[in-house]
Amino acid sequence: MIHFPLGAVTRRLTALARTLKRWRAEHASVADAAAVINLYRLRWLAPLVALINALHVLVLVLGLQLHGQQYVGVALSWRTGLLLAHLAMGLTMLACSVAARHAAASRLRAWLPDATAAVGMLFAIVIVTLDQLVTPNVTPFLISCLLIGVIFYRRPLPAGLMYLAAFTAYYFALSLTQSNPEQLLSNRLNGVTAGILGWALTILLWRNFSTITRQQRQLAEVNAALQDRQTELEHMTKRDGLTGLFNRRTFVELTERELARARRQGGATALLLLDLDFFKGINDTQGHPAGDAVLRHVAALLANTVRGTDLVGRLGGDEFIVLLSNTTSAAAHLVAEKLRRRIAAHPAVWQESTIATSVSVGLSATAADQPASFESLYSDADMALYEAKRLGRDQVV
Query: pLDDT (tens digit, 9 = 90+) per residue, 109-121?
Result: 778 888 899 999 9
Domain contains 92: yes
27 and 69 within one domain: yes
216 and 88 within one domain: yes
207 and 104 within one domain: yes
Residue 69 or residue 320, greater confidence: 320
Domain contains 397: no
C-alpha–C-alpha distance, residues 218 and 225, integer Å: 10
Residue 4 has pLDDT above 70, yes or no: no
66 and 181 within one domain: yes
- Say how many domains are in the chain: 2
Residue 7 has pLDDT above 70, yes or no: no
Domain contains 160: yes
Side-chain half-sphere CA neighbours of 116 within 13 A: 35
141 and 263 within one domain: no
Query: Residue 79: what residue type?
Result: R
Domain contains 238: no
Percentage of the chain beyond pLDDT 70 is 92
Domain contains 59: yes
Q: What separation in angstroms does the CA of 71 have from each of 61, 68, 74, 132, 206?
A: 12, 6, 8, 16, 46
Contacts (Cβ under 8 Å, ≥6 apart) of 97: 42, 43, 46, 47, 50
Residue 263 or residue 331, greater confidence: 331
Domain contains 227: no
Q: What is the CATH number of the domain that holds 366?
A: 3.30.70.270
Residue 21 has pLDDT above 80, yes or no: no
147 and 107 within one domain: yes
Grade residue 182 by pLDDT with cuts at 50, 70 and 90: very high
67 and 185 within one domain: yes
Domain contains 335: yes
| Average pLDDT of the segment spanning 302-319 | 90
How many other C-beta atoms lie within 10 A of the C-beta of residue 97? 19
Strands 269-276 and 359-366, how do they pair? antiparallel
Grade residue 232 by pLDDT with cuts at 50, 70 and 90: confident
60 and 11 within one domain: yes
DSSP for 52-110, written as a single string: HHHHHHHHHHHHHHHHGGG--HHHHHHHHHHHHHHHHHHHHHHHHHHHHTT-TTSTHHH
Residue 308 has pLDDT above 90, yes or no: no
The whole-model pTM stands at 0.62
Residue 165 has pLDDT above 90, yes or no: yes
370 and 333 within one domain: yes
C-alpha–C-alpha distance, residues 328 and 360, integer Å: 20
C-alpha–C-alpha distance, residues 295 and 282, integer Å: 11
350 and 211 within one domain: no
Domain contains 183: yes
Instruction: Judge whether 314 and 301 are in contact, CB under 8 Å.
Output: no
Residue 311 has pLDDT above 70, yes or no: yes
| Average pLDDT of the segment spanning 242-262 | 88
343 and 197 within one domain: no
Least confident of 114-123, 200-209, 234-243: 234-243
What's the chain's length in residues?
Answer: 397
Residue 123 has pLDDT above 80, yes or no: yes
C-alpha–C-alpha distance, residues 318 and 283, integer Å: 11
Residue 395: its pLDDT value, please? Answer: 93
Domain range for 286: 248-390
Residue 317 has pLDDT above 90, yes or no: no
204-209 CB contacts, 8 Å cutoff, 24+ apart: 205/149, 205/150, 205/153, 206/27, 206/34, 206/153, 206/154, 206/155, 206/156, 206/159, 209/30, 209/34, 209/153
pLDDT in tens, 26-78: 777 888 888 888 888 888 888 999 999 899 888 877 776 666 556 667 878 88
48 and 185 within one domain: yes
